[in-house]
A and B are shown apart, each in its own frame.
Chain A
Amino acid sequence: MKIPLSWLKDFIDLNSLTAEEIARKLTLAGLEVDEILYVGLPMPETAAQGMHSSTKHEFKTNGIAWDREKIVVAEIREVKAHPNADKLTLLDVFDGKQDQEVLTGAPNIFHLKGTGKLEKPIKVAYAKEGSVLYDGHADGQVLMTLKRAKIRGVDSYSMVCSEKELGITDESDGIIILDDDAPVGMPLADYIGDAVLDISILPNMARNASIIGIARELAALTGRKLMKPAIEFKTSGASVADSVEIEITNSELNPRFVAGLIRNVEIKPSPYQIQRRLKLAGIRAINNIVDATNYAMLELGEPLHAFDYDVLKERAGKNKIKISTRTAKDGEKLTTLDGVERKLTSTNVLVCDEKGSLSLAGVMGGSESEVYDASKEVLDAKGIETKPGEMPQGKITSRGKSTVNILLEGAAWNFINIRRTAKQHNLPSEASFRFSRGVHPSLAEQGVKRGLQYMAAWAGGAVAPDLVDAYPLKPKDSVVDVTSQDVKRLLGIDLTLQQIAELLTHLEFKCEIKGDKLQVTAPDHRMDIDEGVVGLADVLEEVARSYGYDNIPTTSMADALPPQVGNPVHEWEEHLRDLLVAVGLQEIVTYRMTSPEREARLVGSGLASDHVRIANPIAPERSVLRRSLLTSVLEIAEKNARAESIALFEVGSVFEPNGNDLPFEPHKLAIVMTGARLASAWDVKDAPNFDFFDMKGRLELLLSGLRLTDISYTAAESTPYLHPGKAAEVKVNGKVVGVFGELHPLAKEKFEFGDSPIIVAEFDLDLLRKLNPTYGIKAVPETPPIYEDIAVIVDASVEAAAVEALIRQTGGKTVTNVRLFDVYVDEKIGAGKKSLAYSLTYQSDKTMTDAEAAAIRNKIVKRLEQTVGAKLRS
């Protein structure tokens, strides 16, 4: 919300506080200031240096300062024609000291061209030579210095300014015409110089979406007094109650509805000061009536709605106007004032009369009964005059006669209901912003009165006596008991009841000390204070904010340290990651979201229907949660395919549907390796590519790092995406825990990879984790070992693992290590044969002799001959 400081000053004395200091106090109290925009007031020195500043300014700062000597209030005394230019007028401007001739092309002065001396001078913002202003003709905000120039033969060294030139709005189409009481000669900065704080309003701080809300917070933060406005106006004529009555059909949805009446207003522009404040607050100035509703809303936080009373009267057939509020019928229609016909549902609340609906409650008015200004030739849907050639947006209103009598609505609505309606119809507005966060019903009456006061002041007219006020559901005043002990227990500070009361009174809580308790009653602008234990937290938050978070001490928990319990699953997975990194794999973390098509590249389309689907995906390629972690890792390998060597792994969850319940989230490990086995260097070239055994070696290290034994590898011919001859299942204790191998050429084809084979592995971590480690640490033998090599020739079909198992079985305890060091295939040893060469280590508790080793060796050879037809190779 944009808050002009000048407006804030109507409610609190800000003397001696800079805009930055105010912004800092608000920010620390939860009203974060996003930007300070200077509109005339002097800027802090560092900020003025802009980008080149080396010292800090805490807030994003923008804007322009007006030179107090050079930019002043002046008056146009005479409007002459320009001798050489049709489109320019020549003004006689008095700046408080002297008269100057000033040229302007402003369209809002042009109709006076050649009038000569004005009966009533026009007050303007006047800039002399050397003033720094925004260039009114440039796109965006470009600073320029006003220089002496000759325009069409007339000397020009000063100008009357537009809002764009002064940085008030981006409107450059006419000059500013100040209010008649503007003091000629006064520095403009002193008269209307301002700074605007742009504040983010948190969802629980809707009460502060108003000038008075911010002023109240500042009052509490500075200990200054909140100056509440006096709401006073004269009334005359018949009571509004004589001509209007109100019926509320659902008090939960509409706790209160207040209406007031003002007669015989004259619709015209609001005073310039009012327009300027509205514009700085980000709201367009339209006319004095619409401006009054917006101005009162910004001030107090209560959105108001003005009806054309005569339209209502007409609809009521000159009878008493009966306003009622009710939910819409499904399919009922209403044309809102943006000209859109809206189809309503039974959750939408309408304001109606006996003839039908008038407005979408709390969100947007209807077009038929809106305030109408006949003096504007073409108004767009929002009542804004359109320029020639510009298409008005929405319906063009044309009622012929300007509104003269106004019924002003102030109401309270259910915030959840308004939030749903505003979302349903995509109608975010100043009104729905506030109503959908909660506006207290007490503000309805204050708002209507304030609105009527401004209408009377700016549009003349007579306010009718009384208000009609239906208030079927008064919110209960929240009352909370607070003790010093509560404050100590939850905030950790020692405060007396008097001190607590003082902090809360600044925020308008009513406080009463009753024995050792402080009875706190929430003020009538707040909807966010509950009762009981929640109310206590609500009130303590206000105590903490007023006291200042910075003033609360910093302590260590006195509470006992809870019993420490580990997280074995987490610790195991972290250990797993360390092991994977230790064997040279790079960890990656990928998106959980993918699409069935993306996963089908690897696993085929069979699983496509079996995904956890996202109801509102951000894109089709992220429409489901992944089922195949390996696909995710392959996609990243593919993205990195230019790297000479890729060795990646990911540990994470995949998602399996579980009907309409929470899906299963099993944890998986996927590994992808491809490219060069060794890092290349200036003397290492053409390193071989990773193959099956590079992966297997790493998996062996991984499993031994997990302290697992009884591991076996069996050929896996039926994993569809793996090469049938280069794939294996990994079993631990006879149970399959993973699979690995070379990517099937047909699967590889679907990715953009180079020539190197793609070696992949996939493990089910939930299975792996649950296996009991059996691996113990063995003593390191002190007796010398005997090493011996044997080579045997076997049929090519005999698996190495079988030969090794036989050696180990036969050798028993004494053969402590069996290492295959060569596999040899050649015609010389026979077709269909291979030679396997093993290095054996014999070792026992006492020093072994060669003869003892030879005896064991002979046994082994004999066993191999008998069992697998092996021949000793000599």
Chain B
Amino acid sequence: MLDKLNEIEKSALESLAAITDQAALDAWRVSMLGRSSELMQVFAGLGKLSKEEKPVVGTEANRVKVALESALAERAEAIKNAALAKSLEEEKLDVTLPGRSVNIGRLHPSTQQLRHVLDILAEMGFQVYTSREVETDEYNFQLLNFPPDHPARDMQDTMYIEAGDRGDNPILLRTQTSPGQIRAMREFAETNPNDPPPIRIASPGMCFRHEQITARSEIQFNQVEGLAVGKNITFADLKGTIADFVRRMFGEGARLRFRASYFPFTEPSAEVDVECFVCGGKGCQVCKNSGWLEILGCGMVHPVVLQNGGYDPKIYSGFAWGMGPERQLMLRNKINDIRYFWGNDVRFLEQF
């Protein structure tokens, strides 16, 4: 009997060694360790053995069973590892194939830039004030200290609206967001006409000019205007506020300079140049070799404008500045054709 057990063990281990897949392994387990296997027959026949043989054969049969089971486990592990190694070997991607894309949405670049500007201004305490796009001559020009036929009107070619004869107050497409200055000041002043509250607002919006549409000029463009009015606001504060804004907008090291200029609704007025961020001031095509980029116009609110807004210029002062998000984008991204913005070619929009 013991010989038979040895025989079972030997032939079972031999056949196990030849097995390389899970199915054969399962079949082997059934035939070697299953109920009807020879080994199990030995266990079943134990009762028929003599008192002396029984423990000897029983012990030996158990030993063979444990040996086969552990060989099985070992073999199963080896087969699993071999299969894993094989599949890892086989499942090799061409990682250079393109990824699967997702159609995503985006904001128009102008909206992105407007938000960037307005976010900075909001943190500086300037809150968004929006007003209408079609305006009267009175709000767009006269109340802003552009009298009819004033030479300053030559600076802004205007598109007018057909609206019968309205004398010297025709309807027009606003040429600047500045009419919002008057509307805002009047709204604020109305809340307490005897002691109007201070103001800090940012007016974003579309403005319009009567121009030919070329790579350099457009009939519509966004503008953001900042306005601060209060009892102790100085030109030095204007410089400080602009410097803060420019640092946030163009970076820590951005150098800037103030050049005297003229706008009817501010006095003194200035144009602000920032050191060219393309060439670092060395001179390049973007800055036309000057090393400076003109980025905004500003000034102290003209006393006539304060008065028209309901703020006594003897007590109040303020400053305003205006800038163009599309121009900022063009400078920043070396875009040399302004027509891209309202052309809305998705191949342009997708790049933002």
Q: Which of B105, B230, B342 contacts A581 (CB 8 A)?
A: B105
Task: Report the separation of the CA atoms of residues A616 and B209 in the bound assembly, to the nearest whole angstrom.
Answer: 11
Please tell me which stretch of A238-246, A331-339, A674-682 contacts chain B, meaning at least 4 of its Cβ atoms lie within 8 angstroms of it: A674-682
Q: Which of A552, A569, A580, A582 contacts B130 (CB 8 A)?
A: A569
Query: B251-302: which residues lie under 8 A (CB-CB) from chain A?
Result: 257-262, 267-270, 279, 281-283, 288-292, 300, 302
Q: Mark B179-201, 1 if CB is under 8 A from A, else 0.
A: 00000000000000000011110
Asked if B250 is an interface residue, CB under 8 A from chain A, the answer is no
Please tell me which stretch of B9-17, B23-31, B85-93, B212-220 contacts chain A, meaning at least 4 of its Cβ atoms lie within 8 angstroms of it: B212-220
Separation in Å of the B261 CB from the closest CB of chain A? Answer: 6
8 closest A-B pairs (Cβ-Cβ)? A492-B236, A56-B283, A492-B234, A30-B260, A559-B230, A581-B105, A679-B101, A541-B268
Asked if A779 is an interface residue, CB under 8 A from chain B, the answer is no
Please tell me which stretch of B33-41, B62-70, B71-79, B147-155 contacts chain A, meaning at least 4 of its Cβ atoms lie within 8 angstroms of it: B147-155
In this complex, what residue of B is CB-closest to A536? B303
Asked if A282 is an interface residue, CB under 8 A from chain B, the answer is no
Q: Which of A60, A536, A662, A682 contacts B135 (CB 8 A)?
A: A662
Interface residues of A (CB under 8 A from B): 27-30, 32, 53-60, 202-206, 415-416, 419-420, 436-437, 488-493, 533-534, 536-538, 540-541, 544-545, 549-550, 552-567, 569-571, 574, 577, 580-593, 612-618, 622, 625, 636, 639-640, 643, 645-648, 653, 655, 660-663, 665, 678-679, 681-684
Are A591 and B151 neighbours in the complex by a CB distance under 8 Å? no
**If the complex has contacts A550-B258, A640-B345, are A681 and B98 also in contact, measured as CB distance less than 8 A?**
yes
Q: Which of B136, B219, B288 contacts A591 (CB 8 A)?
A: B219
**If the complex has contacts A58-B290, A60-B288, A554-B239, are A562 and B200 also in contact, measured as CB distance less than 8 A?**
yes
Chain A residues, CB < 8 A from B151: 203, 206, 415, 419, 436-437
Asked if B134 is an interface residue, CB under 8 A from chain A, the answer is yes
Separation in Å of the A320 CB from the closest CB of chain B? Answer: 37
Task: Report the separation of the CA atoms of residues A640 and B349 in the bound assembly, to the nearest whole angstrom.
Answer: 11
Task: Report the separation of the CA atoms of residues A533 and B342 in the bound assembly, to the nearest whole angstrom.
Answer: 43
Are A613 and B133 neighbours in the complex by a CB distance under 8 Å? no
Task: Report the separation of the CA atoms of residues A622 and B258 in the bound assembly, to the nearest whole angstrom.
Answer: 38
Please tell me which stretch of B44-52, B106-114, B327-335 contacts chain A, meaning at least 4 of its Cβ atoms lie within 8 angstroms of it: B106-114
Chain B residues, CB < 8 A from A639: 343-345
Task: Report the separation of the CA atoms of residues A242 and B104 in the bound assembly, to the nearest whole angstrom.
Answer: 88
Chain B residues, CB < 8 A from A533: 303, 313-314
Are A618 and B234 neighbours in the complex by a CB distance under 8 Å? no
Q: Which of B133, B213, B231, B279 contacts A618 (CB 8 A)?
A: B213
Asked if B178 is an interface residue, CB under 8 A from chain A, the answer is no
Chain B residues, CB < 8 A from A536: 303
Are B261 and A557 neighbours in the complex by a CB distance under 8 Å? no
**If the complex has contacts A533-B314, A534-B303, A567-B129, are A661 and B163 also in contact, measured as CB distance less than 8 A?**
yes
Chain B residues, CB < 8 A from A490: 234-235, 300, 317
Are A205 and B262 neighbours in the complex by a CB distance under 8 Å? yes
Are A570 and B260 neighbours in the complex by a CB distance under 8 Å? no
25 contacts between A and B (CB under 8 A): A29-B259, A56-B291, A203-B155, A206-B151, A415-B151, A491-B268, A537-B303, A545-B268, A550-B257, A552-B235, A555-B239, A557-B232, A566-B127, A584-B104, A586-B350, A587-B107, A589-B341, A612-B134, A613-B161, A613-B162, A615-B170, A639-B345, A665-B133, A678-B103, A682-B97
Are B236 and A553 neighbours in the complex by a CB distance under 8 Å? yes
Q: Which of B127, B210, B289, B342 contacts A589 (CB 8 A)?
A: B342
In this complex, what residue of B is CB-closest to A622? B219
Separation in Å of the B325 CB from the closest CB of chain A? Answer: 11
Are A202 and B237 neighbours in the complex by a CB distance under 8 Å? no
Chain A residues, CB < 8 A from B341: 589
Q: Which of B219, B228, B243, B349 contacts A586 (CB 8 A)?
A: B349
Chain B residues, CB < 8 A from A582: 105
Q: Which of A552, A636, A682 contacts B239 (CB 8 A)?
A: A552
Task: Report the separation of the CA atoms of residues A583 and B151 in the bound assembly, to the nearest whole angstrom.
Answer: 50
Are B152 and A56 neighbours in the complex by a CB distance under 8 Å? no
Task: Report the separation of the CA atoms of residues A56 and B275 in the bound assembly, to the nearest whole angstrom.
Answer: 12
Are A557 and B240 neighbours in the complex by a CB distance under 8 Å? yes
Asked if B304 is an interface residue, CB under 8 A from chain A, the answer is yes
Task: Report the separation of the CA atoms of residues A449 and B125 in the bound assembly, to the nearest whole angstrom.
Answer: 58
In this complex, what residue of A is CB-closest to B307? A533
Asked if B208 is an interface residue, CB under 8 A from chain A, the answer is yes
Are B105 and A647 neighbours in the complex by a CB distance under 8 Å? yes
Q: Which of A27, A202, A681 contacts B262 (CB 8 A)?
A: A202
Separation in Å of the B312 CB from the closest CB of chain A? Answer: 9
A557-B233, A613-B161, A618-B159 provided; 19 other pairs, C-beta below 8 A? A58-B291, A203-B150, A205-B262, A492-B237, A549-B270, A557-B237, A559-B198, A562-B230, A570-B130, A574-B115, A577-B107, A581-B107, A587-B111, A592-B173, A614-B159, A617-B159, A618-B211, A639-B343, A681-B100
